[in-house]
A and B are shown apart, each in its own frame.
Chain A
């Protein structure tokens, strides 16, 4: 009798397992099958005047997130907040925190709960972080990622979960390439195509150099930017004497600089990060044949106080391309004050204002589409939210006037070139006034 029992159990379990397997297959396919309809039901008008008796919660192609009367609006982030690249994500996270404070910590009378995941600036980290965020159905929006690699691996998961994703610091051009962009992705950061073009224009027109060498560090960001620069530089009639690459953990760059010196370029463009960037700046001065005559130029990856500490006096006179803080609107001064008061220091990287804007674009869209029930419950249609963000037009942000294009590029890209002065090095602060802007 007992023997029978065991057999039955076995067979039964196998059947259950197989049935479960079958059941899970269609369930997984379902979300992708939903067409991206624009027929968003809820509007601001219905939200404001919803009659208690006949209240109908909205429907949405991607589903509706319901926020109970006493529950917070849950805003997620996916930034790199630890490790060597931690400053990039921490800077963005602080930008969002200030944006939330400026809203009084509330959206539509609901508290804002802001938390998220460290995505480690790697593809694996991005995918794991995205899975963790996507598993929590209280989110409607994820601000992030910091690095392009994170979103490439994690983006599809977030997109499938119906979230709206707004990145303050992804600059890789192909993320908003219509063939590769995933639905619901937006960014307030500039596209690297812009920065590469500005840097090349600056080199050709303002500096008047005809030959240049580039160095990247094997990161997709640096490699993309170095290539964008080289392309535009050659298009404008310049000549790239050598394209070198180093490793971000290297410390001895004199050999590679000696090799570059043999080709006698007038300028070196090295859009890499703080540690290696500052060492290259310093060692370039010590390599015979480069000395003071060769112009040095880096990009926003080095736009940080630590860079000036690391490079020391060697940085004086060099150039850096970065977002044009002088083009930032009046609110930026107030932002900086709040930042100083809240965190006790100046921003640690270049994308805090972009993060501030990313949150505000979301907030504006949410206010447009959220439907409030009679008891204070919020209903947020996920597709509607995406559409509302996509429809952002002439939005007054810190980084300029933002308009989202159909591919998700919302930035008002102002890139300027800064020259490092002695006081930047002495006090380890980033330059605040651009040396040159395109069109000057």
Chain B
């Protein structure tokens, strides 16, 4: 908006110069991104996965998307409006981006020694970049793809929003089906009557072309239909009497609950395994959410409680250690102890750090987490804690003769745990205690002045957070059947923190969503685990820059953050443009 207004103010010549330089800038950025993706190894690693069998692989798609993104953003920012401008400037941006890749291809071709520095600058990468044509023949398709995808990017920007949305959804559905193809195929094996559909959609190593086209068209149509008719449906719902709305709401909830209950039967072993892992992180996230999200105490050693829960269950149920002093008990007896000891540890950690604030707290809790790991690892305590060999032969929980043997059964245990934790978290959030935490988070001194007992409030936060951590650890131990100290390292604390932050601090559905995205998705795409932490890091940074309140924000938090954002924008470099725009609008 501001760009077009600025355009009116300037002479046409200057405007087009500016637009071209914008296209150049985003072309350069897109090229840098593409270059990075290639050199960091993602292009080559992802090229093993076809989205559409033998037509397009994920690695090449990454490059195309960089060009497309360059064209899209360039047009978005340059304010080009005539079809010629859009096509030419988008294509220009894409072209500039693809020049980076063309240059990379030339460099790999001309200087093989580059590989001693950049390990991914390999002949295999060259083959992927040049579409197996080599240098110089392959440079033509590189630059051509840049031009084409840049132009497409530009076109996307000017499509009517409804059409654009449908196209993006359709492309995403095809991508998701392509990405998850092996999992979907394996899962669909269970349903014999679907076999024709399965073989229609999937080939041995990706989607079939017809399958992909069909998926694309179906999604596109569905999305269009929803956009046309969705409002009508919503309006009709609103016209219903309140009682029926409620009933529909309850029906929806009941349906979701029922779906949750039968999920493992529908999706099979591996998805259940993933769901159980997600569930463990939801529990951890709900616990850390109390400490960080509700009470505002940054805890980087949350893994300690997870470890304590797991080790308590292991020590009480397993009989594999040299000195067994309490082993051989059933899981259900050990579980309360696991939670109890985690709470105890929470309080013990809480007391010394009562007076420590903010960033000091972060490092002390981080240290606490490491101390716990080192203690269970140490040779010194090996006879009673297992040392580096961990603790083996942890039995699975039983109810009567029903054994929670594998992920498909453990799912119900973790579902119950998550349900309980979410219930407690929701109840406590708006309680007196929850509000005290909120006050603590806002300003400790003011909270104290308001008569809030800092000691008990803080200790309650640590204790309750620790309880959920301990519960999760207990289930983890019986799921894995063997625990090692190495399972309880700092990365896990960071992972949980990321779940809470990405989901939305203080938001309970946010935690669930965060765990699904950050734990579930990488588990489903295990082949790319090499890039998991890199993408985590990038996601955290981008999230904080673009949407600090998280994916599913908590309402008050969103307000807080947006106040400060507004301020920030005004004081930032964009302020000038904004003012120009406002003047233009006023005039």
Contact = CB atoms under 8 A, between A and B. Distances in A.
Complex contact flag A–B (Cβ < 8 Å): yes
Interface of A: 2-3, 6-7, 9-10, 13-14, 16-17, 20-21, 23-25, 28-29, 32, 82-83, 117-118, 120, 122-124, 127-129, 131-132, 134-137, 149, 152-153, 156-157, 160, 180, 216, 218-220, 222-224, 243, 245
A128 B480 contact: no
Given A124-B480, A131-B272, A223-B389, 19 more contacts: A2-B244, A6-B251, A7-B247, A10-B251, A13-B254, A13-B255, A13-B258, A17-B262, A20-B262, A21-B412, A28-B405, A28-B408, A117-B526, A124-B487, A132-B273, A149-B390, A160-B406, A223-B379, A223-B388
B261 interface: yes
Contacts of B285: none
Contacts of B189: 136-137
A357 B143 CA distance: 48
Contacts of A14: 254, 258
A16 B258 contact: yes
B388 A135 contact: no
Given A24-B264, A28-B409, A243-B379, A220 B484 contact: yes
Nearest to B402: A25
Nearest to A13: B258
Nearest to B374: A247
B405 A123 contact: no
Contact of B268 (A7, A21, A135, A224): A135
A224 B389 contact: yes
B486 to A, nearest CB: 6
A343 to B, nearest CB: 12
Contact of A3 (B247, B264, B486): B247
B265 A20 contact: yes
Given A122-B486, A156-B481, A10 B526 contact: no
A32 B409 CA distance: 15
A120 B389 CA distance: 17
Nearest to A148: B389
Interface string B378-413: 110000000111101100000000110111110010
B542 to A, nearest CB: 24
Among B250, B269, B408, find the residue whose CB has the most chain A CB atoms closer than 10 A.
B269
A16 B480 contact: no
A21 B261 CA distance: 8
A6 B486 CA distance: 50
Nearest to A120: B529
B443 interface: no
A131 B479 CA distance: 12
Given A216-B388, A243-B379, A122 B484 contact: yes
Interface residues of B, number: 57
Given A13-B258, A128-B526, A152 B482 contact: yes
Given A14-B258, A131-B273, A220-B390, A136 B186 contact: yes
A128 B524 CA distance: 10
B248 interface: yes
Contacts of B277: 124, 128
29 contacts: A3-B243, A6-B244, A10-B251, A10-B254, A17-B258, A17-B262, A24-B408, A24-B409, A117-B526, A118-B526, A118-B527, A118-B529, A122-B487, A123-B480, A124-B487, A127-B273, A127-B479, A128-B523, A131-B272, A131-B273, A135-B187, A135-B269, A149-B390, A152-B481, A153-B481, A157-B269, A180-B392, A220-B388, A220-B484
B550 interface: no
Nearest to B253: A10
A83 B393 CA distance: 28
In this complex, which of A25, A135, A216 has the most chain B Cβ atoms within 10 angstroms of its Cβ? A135
B45 to A, nearest CB: 10
Contacts of B479: 127
Interface string B452-493: 000000000000000000000000000111111111000000
B46 interface: no
Contact of A134 (B247, B248, B255, B269): B269
Given A124-B480, A134-B269, A216-B388, A9 B254 contact: yes
B270 interface: yes
Given A24-B264, A117-B526, A224-B389, A10 B250 contact: yes
Nearest to B248: A6
Contact of A153 (B254, B379, B482): B482
Contacts of A10: 250-251, 254
Contacts of A243: 379
B579 interface: no
Contacts of A222: 388
Contact of B265 (A24, A118, A132, A245): A24
A-B CB proximity, top 3 nearest: A131-B273, A13-B258, A135-B270
Contact of A131 (B244, B270, B402, B487): B270
B379 A245 contact: yes
B484 A149 contact: yes
Nearest to A132: B270
A370 B264 CA distance: 33
Contact of B406 (A17, A28, A83, A180): A28
Given A9-B254, A149-B482, A128 B261 contact: no
Nearest to A149: B484
Contacts of A134: 269-270
Nearest to B258: A13
B377 interface: yes
B430 interface: no
Contacts of B402: 25
Nearest to A160: B406
Given A16-B258, A132-B270, A132-B273, A123 B483 contact: yes
B205 to A, nearest CB: 10
Nearest to B377: A218
Contacts of B448: none
A32 B480 CA distance: 18
A16 B259 CA distance: 10
Contacts of B530: 82-83
A17 B261 contact: yes
A216 B377 CA distance: 12
> In the complex, which of the residues B244, B407, B480 has the most CB atoms of chain A within 10 Å of its own CB atom?
B480
Contacts of B265: 20, 23-24
Residue in A2, A118, A131 with the greatest tally of chain B CB atoms within 10 Å: A131
A129 B258 contact: no
B123 to A, nearest CB: 10
B494 to A, nearest CB: 15
Contacts of B486: 122, 149, 218-219
Contacts of B186: 135-136
A82 B529 contact: yes
A123 B479 CA distance: 11
Nearest to A9: B251
A30 to B, nearest CB: 11
A248 to B, nearest CB: 10
